[in-house]
């Protein structure tokens, strides 16, 4: 009996030892699995974090490309070319080893934008139907890539130039006040039969100037093709008479006739127009610029300067300029294909002989004794008083039309899309 009891005790101890080993093995396997899955989760979390970082890099790069597109639109207008950090360097993104972007202006009527618009690598062009150069509105398609090029992102946004001159002038000289000339004034308009339009009287009895309009038998000119920049430099009516070489002294022209001479007023002049004179200055401004003066100054004007800063040695081509206060003197400004809009918030006194291309808008009186040449249009809320010299105004629809396309670039609200 004693021996059997001892045997049972030894067998029980052995069984308990085996159970302990079994449990230890189970715990070891469980600990190994926990360690494996913990490591695996850490790797997955790192991958998720890395992918999130790449995605954010690509999105930030694409958004930088949209901002670069706005800069490009402001500086050189819409074209179908690609925009990269290397071309403009506005976005703060680089090439290899850094996030980067590529942008293209796409045709808003047929953009062909989908998930394949962005190529796999930024060396390849953005895939969409390019916008026609010189148009006013287009879709900017911006592709952004992460620093390792593993992530890409597409952002699109409709963009346009804010209209700088919705009420485009259609005649050379318009004043809400009077026109008083004791020197000489020469005004030509080949494109319609109106040269001077005033809200008050026209007094040229002691002047020696003339106005010119197209002969009824002359060819009616076509309007400029603003969607074809290559045609702008060559845009002239028949025989090239309406350009910088136009001779105001000659009344016997193949395509022009003189309308008003000295004290003989022709049908090309409208004076003492009570509807024009009855407008307030604010209403008159609104008629041309489509908004009040303060709003226009704050949103469309590209150079807001004082009178002493206008003549900086450049011709300020392509700018919308606001001069605060009276201006004495006028430098050469703009070119025919890169005109300016100049708004003088006061009187303008010109005693020199500058050449101005675009739309000259004076919120006070235009006066002086110099011989300025305006290729485009002159508009004054006050009067035009010329005591000497010779003011020459040649209506040019190309310069006026291109001036109306200047101004700040804007994103069209509600058109942002994040792909």
**pLDDT digits 0-9 by tens, 235-270:** 875 444 555 556 666 676 777 888 887 777 888 999
* pLDDT computed for residue 369 by the predictor: 81
Please state, in angstroms and rounded to a whole number, the distance separating the CA atoms of residues 160 and 157. 10
* pLDDT computed for residue 110 by the predictor: 80
In a domain, 65, yes or no: yes
Instruction: Quote the longest CA-to-CA distance of the chain.
Output: 154
Q: What are the residue ranges in the chain where pLDDT is below 70? A: 1-18, 38-44, 46-47, 75-77, 79-81, 86-96, 134, 162, 205-207, 237-250, 252, 407-408
Task: Give the three-class secondary structure for 345.
Answer: strand
Say whether both 356 and 329 belong to one domain. Answer: yes
CB atoms within 10 A of CB 275: 7
Say whether both 114 and 254 belong to one domain. Answer: no
Say whether both 140 and 209 belong to one domain. Answer: no
Say whether both 361 and 316 belong to one domain. Answer: yes
Say whether both 129 and 263 belong to one domain. Answer: no
Say whether both 137 and 76 belong to one domain. Answer: yes
Instruction: For residue 98, give its domain range.
Output: 58-161+411-418
* pLDDT computed for residue 280 by the predictor: 94
* pLDDT computed for residue 240 by the predictor: 45
**Contact indicator for 412, 192 with CB cutoff of 8 Å:** no
In a domain, 371, yes or no: yes
In a domain, 13, yes or no: no
Say whether both 224 and 313 belong to one domain. Answer: yes
* pLDDT computed for residue 4 by the predictor: 57
What's CA 117's distance to the chain center, in Å? Answer: 25
The predicted-structure confidence for 21-66, as pLDDT tens digits, reads as follows: 777 778 777 777 777 776 666 666 766 777 888 889 999 999 999 9
In a domain, 183, yes or no: yes
In a domain, 288, yes or no: yes
Q: What is the DSSP string of 103-158?
A: EEEE-TTS---STTSS-SSTTSPP-SPBPPTT-SEEEEEEEEE-TTSS-EEEEEEE
Say whether both 179 and 317 belong to one domain. Answer: yes
Q: What is the total count of domains within the chain?
A: 2
Say whether both 328 and 225 belong to one domain. Answer: yes
Say whether both 114 and 226 belong to one domain. Answer: no
CB atoms within 10 A of CB 304: 15
In a domain, 28, yes or no: no
Please state, in angstroms and rounded to a whole number, the distance separating the CA atoms of residues 419 and 154. 5
Say whether both 205 and 111 belong to one domain. Answer: no
**Contact indicator for 99, 151 with CB cutoff of 8 Å:** no
Say whether both 63 and 199 belong to one domain. Answer: no
* pLDDT computed for residue 243 by the predictor: 53
* pLDDT computed for residue 174 by the predictor: 95
Q: Record the pTM.
A: 0.69
* pLDDT computed for residue 322 by the predictor: 95
């Amino acid at each position: 009996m004693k021996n059997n009891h001892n045997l049972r005790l030894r067998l029980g101890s052995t069984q308990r030892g085996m159970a302990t080993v079994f449990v230890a093995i189970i715990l070891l396997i469980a600990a190994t699995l926990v360690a494996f899955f913990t490591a695996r989760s850490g790797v997955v979390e790192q991958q998720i974090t890395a992918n999130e970082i790449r995605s954010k890099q690509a999105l930030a790069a694409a958004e930088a490309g949209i901002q670069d597109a706005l800069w490009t639109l402001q500086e050189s207008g819409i074209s179908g070319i690609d925009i990269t950090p290397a071309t403009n360097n506005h976005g703060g993104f680089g090439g290899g080893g850094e996030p980067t972007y590529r942008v293209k202006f796409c045709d808003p009527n047929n953009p062909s934008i989908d998930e394949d618009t962005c190529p796999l690598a930024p060396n390849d062009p953005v895939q969409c139907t390019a916008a026609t150069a010189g148009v006013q509105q287009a879709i900017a398609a911006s592709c952004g890539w992460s620093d390792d090029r593993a992530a890409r992102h597409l952002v699109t946004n409709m963009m346009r130039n804010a209209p700088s001159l919705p009420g485009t002038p259609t005649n050379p000289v318009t004043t809400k006040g009077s026109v008083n000339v004791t020197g000489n004034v020469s005004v030509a308009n080949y494109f319609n039969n109106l040269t001077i339009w005033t809200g008050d009287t026209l007094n040229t009895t002691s002047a020696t100037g003339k106005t010119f309009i197209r002969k009824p038998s002359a060819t009616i000119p076509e309007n400029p093709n603003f969607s074809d920049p290559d045609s702008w430099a060559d845009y002239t009516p028949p025989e090239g008479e309406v350009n910088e070489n136009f001779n105001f002294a000659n009344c016997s022209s193949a395509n022009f006739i003189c309308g008003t001479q000295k004290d003989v007023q022709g049908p090309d002049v409208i004076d003492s127009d009570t509807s024009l004179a009855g407008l307030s200055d604010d209403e008159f401004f609104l008629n041309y610029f489509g908004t009040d003066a303060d709003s226009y100054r704050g949103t469309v004007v590209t150079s807001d300067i004082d009178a002493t800063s206008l003549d900086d040695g450049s011709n300020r081509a392509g700018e919308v300029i606001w001069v605060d206060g009276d201006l004495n003197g006028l430098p050469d400004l703009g070119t025919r294909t890169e005109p300016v809009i100049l708004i003088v918030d006061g009187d303008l006194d010109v005693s020199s002989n500058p050449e101005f291309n675009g739309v000259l808008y004076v919120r006070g009186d235009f006066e002086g004794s110099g011989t300025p040449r305006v290729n485009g249009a002159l508009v004054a809320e006050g009067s035009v008083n010329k005591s000497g010299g010779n003011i020459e105004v040649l209506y040019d629809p190309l310069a006026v039309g291109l001036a109306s396309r200047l101004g700040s670039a804007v994103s069209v609200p509600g058109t942002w899309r994040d792909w």
